[in-house]
Structure 1
């Protein structure tokens, strides 16, 4: 009877936890802030990345893996915070999206394994086929292009020998040969002149094309960032920053670090320990950012 009464008393308490308005993310964040822990402290003690802890506290379930893995993260996190594991798991079961179920993840893993084996088999067959084809190929033979220069040299030598013998035999035809040589020499002179002219013509456009390239490089060097963000790290702090809408980068800074970022329009910043870092934008300090262990989100400059 006593056990039945205890269960009846515990049932309304569980319903209050489910329907009282508090979520699993809020419960975990309150417990972490009550202990004065930052996201970096959680990472040092549990090896849970700050991005994962932040996603759990903000209940961004679509960014997390299957519920089986998330429950493992929760158990590790709960041990550090020293709160009721059963309560957190029950809260999570009420908040997890219905379309994010464990068996769907298992099916996708099996499908990817099957497709991976199929791709590996196809690659192995292709490698064997290429190897067999290469072995069966006949040894390479001398191509006609390689023989052509040698044949042309022999023909030219034979023709030159015939010309010498022909001039030695007849004296009257020597004059004709000399005339033809003179005409050939006269024809070669304009060709050389034409080639020199061609070289001069081609050199001018090259110099003209080089000028706009130097102008482009000067324009790139002259550009300077409009925004310069400097930081002074006082405590171990996790930070994520995105400049001008680009790809976000995550950092874990130690005390004494002085990182600098540059941008043209905007900084999008997430800080895991608001009291652990001081910021300065274009030489102007931003003042205190928040309490120790508090997660904050900033967009600088504030007018943007």
Structure 2
């Protein structure tokens, strides 16, 4: 059995189940080029062997076949590097592990929400307590002020009645005095009352807030410099891409699932080989780079140092 026979076997199983190429594209998230390459056994359209093995296993799993057996048969006809296979993520993700991770995240989120709600309740309780105490204090001060003013009015009325009830003899004595002496005597009698009224009426003015000239202007945030010598690669929605990066002489391999991103900084040189160049978006030094390549095609790009 060779690659073409293996592909024919997968194609026959697909047709037996009544599935179209579009159905397989939806189930496996593979492009049309990759689906035809698998069924036709066409090595020219295959990406890196490890990446191609992942496609074959994913395709077999969608048909209900033994993905490990199909993957091993594929490895016999298309060489696969075992060390690289360990470093590259298998597209067939364990659903139970994903669910457990999701439940852990949900639990942490719920605990954080409850803790935040408790903090807000404590802050609101403190604010209500503070405002309530201030309201009681203001009410008590207002009540005391009203009582003092009432006493002052009563004292003034009592003094007026005493002046009206003076005897005729006292009126005669006052009339015999000189106008200057009468005025001085009147001032002396009224002086204590005036002094007491001043003590009650005088209310201290609240201190004014700081003038506008004393207000300090907030510092303006410094403009962040543009990052240079960095390439950011993001897999498009519904796409996945294998890539080989040679960064300043160091060779690395990666697999990006849909919407995943990776940042590759370098000092002198960077060379990237894309297994699915049409399925990724590339940003170099903060600027988007247009590849103009169809999905599923292999492309190599070299990046120089940004000046």
> TM-score interval w.r.t. the shorter chain?
0.3 to 0.5
Whose radius of gyration is greater, 1 or 2? 2
State the TM-score, normalizing by the size of structure 1: 0.34
Higher helix share: 1
| TM-score for the superposition, normalised by structure 2 | 0.34
